[in-house]
Amino acid sequence: MQLTLWTYEGPPHVGAMRVATAMRGLHYVLHAPQGDTYADLLFTMIERRRERPPVTYSTFQARDLGGDTAELFQRSVREAYERFRPQAMIVGASCTAELIQDDPGGLAQALDLPIPVIPLELPSYQRKENWGAAETFYQLVRHLAKAPAAPRDSGARPCCNLLGPTALGFRHRDDVREVTELLALIGVDVHVVAPLGATPADLARLPGADFNVVLYPEVASLAARWLERTHRQPFVGVVPIGIGASTDFIHRVAELAGVNPAPALERIEWRARWYAQSVDSTYLTGKRVFVFGDATHAIAAARVASREMGFTVVGLGSYSREFARELREAATLYGVEPLITDDYLEVESRITEAHPELVLGTQMERHIAKRLGLPCAVISAPVHVQDFPARYSPQMGIEGANVMFDTWVHPLMMGLEEHLLTMFRDDFEFHAEAAPSHLGSAATALRAVPAADVPAMAPAVKAVPAAPIESPAVATAVPSSPIELGWAPEAEKELHKIPFFVRGKARRNTERYARDRGVATITVETLYDAKAHFSA
Amino acid sequence: MSQADTAVVAAPQLGSRGCAPAAAADHVLRERGQREVFCGLTGIVWLHRKIQDAFFLVVGSRTCAHLVQSAAGVMIFAEPRFGTAIIDERDLAGLADANAELDRVVGRLLERRPDIKLLFLVGSCPSEVIKLDLSRAAERLSAQFLPRVRVLNYSGSGIETTFTQGEDACLASLVPGLPAEPPGAADSLMVVGTLPDVVEDQFGRLLQVMGIERVAFLPARRAGSMPAVGPRTRLLLAQPFLADTARALEARGAQRLPAPFPFGDEGSTLWLQAAATAFGVDAQRFEAAVAAPRERARQALARQRAVLAGKRIFFFPDSQLEVPLARFAARELGMQLVEVGSPYLHRQHLAAEMALLPAGTLLSEGQDVERQLDRCRAARPDLVVCGLGLANPLEAEGIATKWSIELVFSPVHGYEQAGDLAALFARPLDRRTRLAA
């Protein structure tokens, strides 16, 4: 048993739902108890879908466990077929049904429906959501794309399939559009996009493309490898997230399509590249960034962070155990210890240790960063409703690079702004208790507490909304220094002039320096001696 | 032809404890089929906010963890007092091992969280199906951790409980451990069911003003201050989904005061009246206590009634609050009831409510969601109360919805909230008018 407060991934049948909901003309009958329909609202609320997911739940209850659960399941399959008339069905068990050992595949086959009925084996107690999506997509492709394609005209434009986008996928909707436009620029058509928007009949047409593009390896690797083996379709394994990766992607696509990539590459204007070169971005240089997410997005983000933004990657991790090898390889590029875990407490303590100035992660890291008072941007699922935006916001291709630049820099600008406000904290208009300036003199300003009144050993005054790193709210905070070490009021005051996002580190370094030298009271002098010592 | 069992039966005659003979609700449609409802684990989301030193440990699968996380939204991050011990393959291999694993997880948890005084081991579908005996585990762990921590067990599994029934199971598990009333104690009133603190305080003040001195609430806000129970205890149920809890309290000698539930002006008044009558509060004193809040509620309701009167409303089953809310919507807001679905109709606890429903109201118990959606589409109601899995799809079909979970999570009981409750129904309609303009 594993004590879990937060799970990065749902169970594997949720992955199957993501594939079924992405498609049209497919229905999923899930052998499951009452209550498992909670997953419907992930699609209707977080992704704001306009239809219910095409999933029927057998909804067995305790009184059914005596023995008619099999009959109940068959009835669900029959009624779902009669009501929805899908082109194909997938059937399987949720975690509880796996324990009662009905055989959904066999039970559904026995009904002899006039459509393909594909059984799914999704081991709920070993595997998770992304694996479930990958296995479901693979089984669908294997069952529906058996027939080889008719030979194509030699003069036809090259075409490829886009594999991997699903329902509840982070920015999948817009990535598909962006990559489609990128391919058009190279002179390559899109044959079938799957699972997103595809019907079972479309899956049967997959072998008709020249090659495949795997947009999301977590979902489409299995199916792409099967298509390569069975229909001799090569696939593009480069995920076009970031300028460099998009350029590599264009070269690889051009190679498989037999076209010259140069004209396309000349036409592209990488605005994100110029933005990163412009002088306003100089302050981004060497910013320490911690990256965590699914393997594909984390690896891609680390590359963008280090080579296209000029950050320093101080942490790289993923909850995708299936892609641990790829992530370890990537971590060696940045000389960091790879982190493969699905325990958010471990992620939290690694972030705390690394003292990043920016966290790139999931919804969970957003909350960790909030607790630590760090800027953060979201790069990967799981995400909340605000990361299924109304506006066009891909991560891939040309516009994806622009979106990422804005998204990542935004919290830092906010951070800098906050820092300026802190710098001018003792300013007559900007002190912490001052009313917003736009309210003018009508607002009653509270009396500001002069910084000199702060007791020497008090933790940092929270004049900024964000808690500084050494805030006692953080369970994993470094233990406070032994009692014989003190801060002179002037030194404490000086410390507060240091930007809040490095203040915690400055405090710790200074205290360590003082202890090593037996200094009992830290003065302004000690602070600057320590600074000189550690930056040497 | 569907084989889902459907039966239309006459509603049973109300027992002698009912307020009035059943002039209403003469149709109950019983259905079985696919249900679009939460399981009882969801109750953890509000229960853990109420009992401040309790921790809820679900013993279940990743699905359970995912559900609680999805339902709790962002609350998961504020050092939550709930979690899941996820069963894995190794636990399925042998039962003895699973118990040892559970002990290890609980030990680690209590080590990390010394503030916890009460630990609930919450059963789930997987734990029930593999017959992991959590009641014995709770006894074993209690023996180990008492007096610092008491360990209890209840089931919130979907195979046994629907949504708010999780609270019923939780409170029922508290009952055997409640202290006994001291001999010779005076009559006391126990208000049963989780209410937001603000609502609890309002009711407490009103009862105080009437002169009912000994009032306690179950659950209490802290594990150490749960109320005593005995033959002098009078129960006033604040929620309609507490069948097992009421039965367990009655088994310890307490007596339930039949009343409708405290929604709206009328419901709140009749509910308080039940207590006042039982405790011999004279009419004048009762009137003096409730006059001002009643007037406030009436004024607030009059504003909403202007928007809602004559509108046709359809309730999908969710929380068992549907019948009391339908009564409120019909009688105080002038709405017309198309269908009132509930996951479970407790005839005795709802007797006073049913008596107040308009004659001919169609009640349905249980669900076959596809067929219910067919009925809903055919009826084209003005407002549909339903869960989040159905709300946006119905909106996309042009049907206005009010998502039901908010009725469980928001302060809606009592006089001061009557206007807010009505506003929950009015807002979706108001919004449609604005967006169309």
Residues of chain B found within 8 Å of residue A79, distances taken between Cβ atoms: 2-4, 33, 370
pLDDT in tens, B40-57: 999 999 999 999 999 999
B101 vs A1, A33, A51: nearest CB: A1
CB within 8 Å: B74 and A384: yes
pLDDT in tens, B77-133: 667 899 999 999 888 887 668 899 999 999 999 998 999 999 999 999 999 999 999
Residues of chain A found within 8 Å of residue B162, distances taken between Cβ atoms: 34-35
d(CA A41, CA A39) in angstroms, rounded, equals 5
Pairing, β B54-60 against β B82-86: parallel
Residue of A4, A131, A371 to mutate when probing chain B, most B C-beta within 10 A:
A4
Please return the burial class of A390, using the count of CB atoms within 10 Å of its CB with bins 0-12, 13-18 and 19+. exposed
- The yes-or-no answer on residue A294 being catalytic is no
- Closest residue in B to A97 (Cα) is B126
- Closest residue in A to B79 (Cα) is A5
Across B55-74, average pLDDT: 91
Least confident of A124-128, A194-198, A241-245, A455-459: A455-459
E-strand ranges in A353-477 read: 358-361, 376-378
Sorted by sequence, the CB contacts under 8 Å of residue A25 that are 6+ apart come out as A86, A87, A88, A199, A200, A201
Q: What is the secondary structure of A331-343 as a DSSP string? A: HHHHT--EEE-S-
Q: Which helix (H) or strand (E) holds A321?
A: none
- Closest residue in B to A367 (Cα) is B77
Task: Give me B60's structure tokens.
Answer: 């279940």
Task: Please state, for a pLDDT cut of 90, what percent of chain A lies above it.
Answer: 75
Does residue B126 sit at the A interface (CB-CB below 8 Å)?
Answer: yes
d(CA A516, CA A534) in angstroms, rounded, equals 13
Q: How confident is the model at residue A463 (pLDDT cuts 50, 70, 90)?
A: very low
Whether A422 has a pLDDT exceeding 80, the answer reads no
Does residue B109 sit at the A interface (CB-CB below 8 Å)?
Answer: yes
Sorted by sequence, the CB contacts under 8 Å of residue B378 that are 6+ apart come out as none
Please return the burial class of A306, using the count of CB atoms within 10 Å of its CB with bins 0-12, 13-18 and 19+. middle
Would you state the pLDDT for residue A432? Answer: 54
Global pTM?
Answer: 0.88
Q: How confident is the model at residue A427 (pLDDT cuts 50, 70, 90)?
A: low
d(CA B187, CA A316) in angstroms, rounded, equals 64
Q: What is the dihedral of CA A118, A119, A125, A127, to 10 degrees?
A: -30
Radius of gyration over every alpha carbon of chain A, rounded to an integer in angstroms: 28
Task: Please state, for a pLDDT cut of 70, what percent of chain A lies above it.
Answer: 87
CB within 8 Å: B89 and A13: no
Across A275-290, average pLDDT: 92
Would you say the C-alpha torsion A275, A277, A282, A283 has a positive or negative sign? positive
CB within 8 Å: B392 and A40: no
Find how far residue A398's CA is from the centre of its chain: 19
Least confident of A228-237, A275-284, B261-270: A275-284
Nearest chain B CA: its distance from A75 CA (Å): 8
Residues 309-338 of B with CB under 8 A from A: none
Secondary structure letter of residue A294 according to DSSP: S
d(CA A531, CA A338) in angstroms, rounded, equals 30
Least confident of A418-427, B31-40, B117-126, B236-245: A418-427
Does residue B128 sit at the A interface (CB-CB below 8 Å)?
Answer: yes
Q: How confident is the model at residue B436 (pLDDT cuts 50, 70, 90)?
A: confident
Whole-angstrom CA distances from A514 to A318, A363, A519, B422 are 38, 39, 5, 64
Whether A147 has a pLDDT exceeding 80, the answer reads yes
Residues of chain A found within 8 Å of residue B37, distances taken between Cβ atoms: 34-35, 37
CB within 8 Å: B62 and A7: yes
Most confident of A485-489, B67-71, B251-255: B251-255
Whether A433 has a pLDDT exceeding 80, the answer reads no
Does residue B341 sit at the A interface (CB-CB below 8 Å)?
Answer: no
d(CA A155, CA B328) in angstroms, rounded, equals 72
Would you state the pLDDT for residue A439? Answer: 53
CB within 8 Å: B83 and A4: yes
Whether residue A195 is preceded by a cis peptide bond, meaning omega within 30 degrees of 0, is: yes
CB within 8 Å: B77 and A371: yes
Sorted by sequence, the CB contacts under 8 Å of residue B39 that are 6+ apart come out as A33, A34, A35, A36, A38, B67, B124, B125, B156, B157, B158, B161, B162, B163, B166
3-state helix/strand/coil string of chain B: CCCCCEEEECCCCCCCCCCCCCCCCCEEEEECCCCCCCEHHHHHHHHHHHCCCEEEEEEECHHHHHHHHHHHHHHHHCCCCEEEEECCHHHHHCHHHHHHHHHHHHHHHHHHCCCCCEEEEEECHHHHHCCCCHHHHHHHHHHHHCCCCEEEEEECCCCCCECCHHHHHHHHHHHHHCCECCCCCCCEEEEECCCCHHHHHHHHHHHHHHCCCCEEEECCCCHHHCCCECCCEEEEECCCCCHHHHHHHHHCCCEECCCCCCCHHHHHHHHHHHHHHHCCCCHHHHHHHHHHHHHHHHHHHHHHHHHHCCCEEEECCCCCCHHHHHHHHHHHHCCEEEEEEECCCCCCCCHHHHHHCCCCCEEEEECCHHHHHHHHHHHCCCEEEECHHHHHHHHHCCCCEEECHHHHHCCCCCCCCHHHHHHHHHHHHHHHHHHHC
Which residue of the set A280, A343, A516, A529 is catalytic? A280
d(CA A361, CA A99) in angstroms, rounded, equals 35
Would you state the pLDDT for residue A479? Answer: 42
d(CA B209, CA A367) in angstroms, rounded, equals 45
Across B362-382, average pLDDT: 97
Would you state the pLDDT for residue A159? Answer: 97
d(CA B347, CA B353) in angstroms, rounded, equals 10
Residues of chain B found within 8 Å of residue A51, distances taken between Cβ atoms: 393, 396
- The closest alpha carbon to B344, from B196, B194, B244, B236, belongs to B244
CB within 8 Å: B392 and A50: yes
The angle at the Cα of A280, spanning A275 to A284, to the nearest 5 degrees, equals 85
Cβ–Cβ pairs < 8 A, chains A and B = 182
Q: What is the dihedral of CA A110, A112, A113, A116, to 10 degrees?
A: 90
Would you state the pLDDT for residue A455? Answer: 36
CB within 8 Å: A6 and B66: no
Does residue B185 sit at the A interface (CB-CB below 8 Å)?
Answer: no
d(CA A49, CA B397) in angstroms, rounded, equals 12
B159 vs A51, A60, A95: nearest CB: A60
- Closest residue in B to A48 (Cα) is B392
Task: Give me A127's structure tokens.
Answer: 């595997």
Find how far residue A277's CA is from the centre of its chain: 26
Q: What is the secondary structure of A52-66 as a DSSP string? A: --SEEE--B-GGGTT
B88 vs A49, A125, A370: nearest CB: A125
Would you state the pLDDT for residue A457? Answer: 34
Does residue B71 sit at the A interface (CB-CB below 8 Å)?
Answer: yes
d(CA B375, CA A190) in angstroms, rounded, equals 42
Q: Does residue B169 come out as left (phi exceeding 0), alpha (psi in the -120 to 50 range) or beta? A: alpha
- Closest residue in B to A31 (Cα) is B34
Pairing, β B255-256 against β B233-237: parallel
Residues of chain B found within 8 Å of residue A369, distances taken between Cβ atoms: none
Please return the burial class of A211, using the count of CB atoms within 10 Å of its CB with bins 0-12, 13-18 and 19+. buried
Burial A232-252 (b: 16+ CB within 10 A, else e): ebebbebbbbbbbbbbbbbbb
Task: Give me A291's structure tokens.
Answer: 């990256």
Radius of gyration over every alpha carbon of chain B, rounded to an integer in angstroms: 22
Pairing, β B27-31 against β B6-9: antiparallel
What residue has token string 């009103």? Answer: B206
Sorted by sequence, the CB contacts under 8 Å of residue B431 that are 6+ apart come out as none
- Closest residue in B to A84 (Cα) is B370
Least confident of A224-233, A371-380, A453-462, B183-192: A453-462
d(CA A530, CA A404) in angstroms, rounded, equals 37
Q: How confident is the model at residue A68 (pLDDT cuts 50, 70, 90)?
A: confident
Would you state the pLDDT for residue A505? Answer: 80
- Give chain A's mean pLDDT: 88
Q: What is the secondary structure of A377-399 as a DSSP string? A: EE-SSS--GGGS-SS---SBHHH
Residues of chain A found within 8 Å of residue B370, distances taken between Cβ atoms: 79, 83
CB within 8 Å: B36 and A60: no
Nearest chain B CA: its distance from A148 CA (Å): 39
Does residue B393 sit at the A interface (CB-CB below 8 Å)?
Answer: yes
B2 vs A51, A79, A126: nearest CB: A79
B393 vs A38, A51, A124: nearest CB: A51
Residue of B48, B62, B162 to mutate when probing chain A, most A C-beta within 10 A:
B62
Sorted by sequence, the CB contacts under 8 Å of residue B222 that are 6+ apart come out as B51, B52, B53, B117
Whether A454 has a pLDDT exceeding 50, the answer reads no
Whether A163 has a pLDDT exceeding 70, the answer reads yes
Whole-angstrom CA distances from B5 to A55, A107, B39, B346 are 21, 21, 22, 20
